[in-house]
Amino acid sequence: MGSLGEAGEKEMFPSPPDPVMIELNRLEDQLRDKERELGLANYEIKALKATELMKDKAVVELNNELKKVDDKLRAAEKQLEQKNLEIKRLIDEKKEALAALFAAEAALRRVHACQKDEEYLPVEAVIAPLESDIKKYKNKITKLQEDKKALERLIKSKEAALIEAKNILCIALERALIVETVQNKNIELRRQIEICQEENKLLEKTNRQKIVEVEKLTQTIHELEEYILAGGAAANAVRDYQRQVAELNEEKKTLERELARAKVSANRVATVVANEWKDGNGKVMPVKQWLEERRFLQGEMQRLRDKVAVAERTAKAEAQLKDKLNLRLKTLEEGLKQAPSLSAKQVENSKKKIGCSSNEEPEKRPTFHSRASVSASRLSVLQQPNSASEDVITNRNIKPTNSLKKKFAIGENLVRKNFWAPKSKVFDDDGKDNAERIANANGNISDSIEGNTEPSQEVKAKGCGDIELQNKGGSEDDCDVTVQRKKVVPQEVTVQGVGDIKSKNKRGSEDAYEDMVSGFLYDRLQKEVINLRKSHEEKDHMLSAKDDEINLLQKKVDAAAASREKKMRRVAVSREKEVFVKSEETKPRSKTPIISRRAVNHLEALKSSRA
């Protein structure tokens, strides 16, 4: 089949081999391979069948051997049972012989005991038959022992035979398992043979289809060759037409160039004619001037676009800042809500302390101020040492009765530092306007927080002064300028503070960017601030508890002092009574009523003081 197809294809196609022929050859090779595989599988099947027959014969032989071994085992078991019965019988006879020996010995003892009184038969005549019986029994015992040894040998041989039979059984079982595995493999091979046969059928079908397709393709190839021969003239005509179209396009381009030159010359002539009868202002603009003006206008437009982009960026930054400020305002409102309650408690405690003992005031004031300064310095992590020292000095000058203002001032300083710490701005031509807008917005927010009160504005002025001292190293001229501005316009205090903060960062270049605090660092600082607040609150609670304990101790001390005074008064009264009694006994009667009145008055005074 393949050889005839190849010969026909060689005659039809003297040109290089076609893919169809290659595919056919490949399919024929696959068929040959499959046929070889089938032949090998058939040989394997035959070999497996022969091995199965041999294994079946071996299994039959093993079954026969097993039956023989089983018969031998049964016979050996029967013999063992008989021997066991004989052994039991001999053991019983041995026991009886021993009993007879014991009885004979007892009889001999009796005979020896009774020889003195009576005359008996000689002992040898009595012992001789007994000794003969003993010898017989001994011979029997030796025979039985020999039989026992022989039985033991038989038992051992039987056990060895049983072990061999077990081994044979194990081998037979293993062979049976091997036979089962071989049978399973045989079944699998049969299935594979069936699958291979089905695949062979499918391949034959595909081969037939491919042959049909090849015949169709040969017909189409012949038709295409005819069409190609017929289409050669058409291709030549198409090439001629393409060449003509290219020539026409070149002529069109040349005509367009000439037309453009004519238009340019006409425009020039028209401009010259138009400018002849017009004034200097109404003349047509030359091309160079128009191009320069156009470039200038485009540059201005680009600059305006850049400004718009910068404004959009600043607006986005403002929106982000507003979001951050809202978050900070929430945290600060929570802190400020807690601060007034704590400060009110401290005011009450200070009033109680002042009422209890006035001598303890100079000792408690420095501790209170040092605690406030320590809390303020811990809360303001970004503060410098100069500002910290100045805060301590200002806190020392504050009175203890003004604790509410002091707490509020510390909170406002924290508000300002949290507002302006992460701020960054771009300074452009319009950057100052944006900065002023942001500052005004922040100033309005701070005014809304403070409630437009006078002490809050004073606190703002102090906070701005602290920030200026931090940023400029304590320069007095700048502080004076900011104070004057605050006096003139008190509502723009926060704006001036922001301007002073900017002035430090604008030393390098006006168009440079400020250093911005990272979000991670800001979150860390905010967490530290919250932790410090919590610790501050816990310390305040501890101090309030200690103050309560001190008050209780003071009350106890006062009660003890009052009880002592009462005791002393009672002792004094008792002594006066004794003196009064002695004086009555010693002094004359004329003076007795005067002394009695004095004593009565003294007793009434003591009663009133007790009441």
pLDDT digit string, tens, across residues 264-303: 777 777 777 666 665 555 555 666 677 777 788 888 888 8
Residue 195 lies in a domain: yes
Q: Is 360 helix (H, G, I), strand (E, B) or coil?
A: coil
Do 398 and 494 fall within a single domain? yes
Could you give the CA distance from residue 304 to residue 295 in angstroms, rounded to a whole number? 14
Residue 252: inside a domain, yes or no? Answer: no
- In angstroms, rounded to a whole number, what is the distance separating the alpha carbons of residues 358 and 352? 10
Q: Give the DSSP H or E segment for 586.
A: helix 519-586
First vs last Cα of the chain: how many Å apart?
Answer: 144
The answer to whether 550 and 360 have CB atoms below 8 angstroms apart is no
Which one of 240, 257, 276 terminates a domain? 240
Could you tell me if 596 and 497 lie in one domain? no
Same domain? For 369 and 507 the reply is yes
Q: What is the Cβ-side half-sphere exposure of residue 431, based on CA atoms within 13 angstroms?
A: 14
Same domain, 214 and 359: no
Q: Which of 517, 549, 574 is the last residue of a domain?
A: 517
Residue 278: CA atoms inside 13 Å, Cβ hemisphere, count?
12
Q: Is residue 533 included in any domain, yes or no?
A: no
Q: Which of 216, 240, 264 is the last residue of a domain?
A: 240
77 shares a domain with 191: yes
What value does the mean pLDDT take over residues 454-480? 40
Distance CA 583, CA 592 (A): 9
Backbone dihedral angles phi then psi of residue 572, each to the nearest 5 degrees = -65, -40
Q: Does residue 510 sit in the same domain as residue 603?
A: no
**Among the listed ranges 466-470, 546-550, 605-609, which one has the minimum average pLDDT value?**
466-470
Q: What is the number of domains present in the chain? A: 3
Q: Return the residue matching tokens 């014991």.
A: 102
Domain that holds residue 570: 565-609
170 is written with which tokens? 């194990």
Return phi, psi of residue 512, to 5°. -80, 160
Nearest to 550 by CA among 398, 373, 367, 404: 367
Q: Among the ranges 347-356, 394-403, 581-590, which has the highest mean pLDDT value?
A: 581-590
- Helices 519-586 and 592-610 sit at what angle, rounded to 10 degrees? 160
- What's the rounded Cα separation, in Å, for the pair 605 and 576? 14
Query: What pLDDT was estimated at residue 143?
Result: 86
The answer to whether residue 194 scores a pLDDT higher than 80 is yes
Amino acid at 411: G
Mean pLDDT, the chain, rounded, equals 68
Distance between CA atoms of residues 535 and 378, nearest Å: 11
- 388 in the same domain as 508: yes
| Closest listed residue to residue 373, CA positions, set 416, 333, 415, 409 | 409
Q: Of the candidates 408, 410, 400, 405, which has an alpha carbon nearest to the alpha carbon of residue 350?
A: 400
Q: Is residue 560 part of a domain?
A: no
207-213 average pLDDT score: 88
Mean pLDDT on 438-456 = 43
Percent of the chain topping pLDDT 90? 1
pTM attached to this predicted model: 0.22
Residue 574 sits in the same domain as residue 456: no
The string of DSSP letters for 170-198 reads HHHHHHHHHHHHHHHHHHHHHHHHHHHHH
Name the pLDDT band for 597 (thresholds 50, 70, 90).
low
CB atoms within 10 A of CB 350: 19
Q: How far apart are CA 157 and CA 154, in angstroms?
A: 5
Flag whether 315 is in a domain.
no
pLDDT value for 238: 81
How many other CB atoms are found less than 10 A from the CB of residue 529?
Answer: 20
Do both 582 and 482 map to the same domain? no
- 445 vs 415: CA distance, rounded Å: 11
Is 148 a member of any domain?
yes
pLDDT of residue 478: 41
Answer for the pair 158, 73: CB distance below 8 angstroms, yes or no.
yes
User: Does residue 580 share a domain with residue 453?
Assistant: no
* 234 & 355 share domain: no
Same domain, yes or no, for 464 and 577? no
pLDDT band at 541, cuts 50/70/90?
confident
**Which pLDDT does position 611 carry in this prediction?**
57
Does residue 312 form part of some domain?
no
DSSP per-residue string spanning 402-445: GHHHHHHHHHHHHHHHHHHTT-----STTHHHHHHHHHHHHHHH
Whether the CB-CB separation of 450 and 457 falls below 8 Å is answered with yes
CATH code of the domain containing 144: 1.10.287
Give pLDDT tens digits for 160-193. Answer: 888 888 888 888 888 888 888 888 888 888 888 8
CB 479, CB 463: distance < 8 Å: no
Q: Band of the pLDDT at 588, cuts 50, 70, 90?
A: low
Is 317 within the bounds of a domain? no
Which residue type does 185 have?
Answer: K
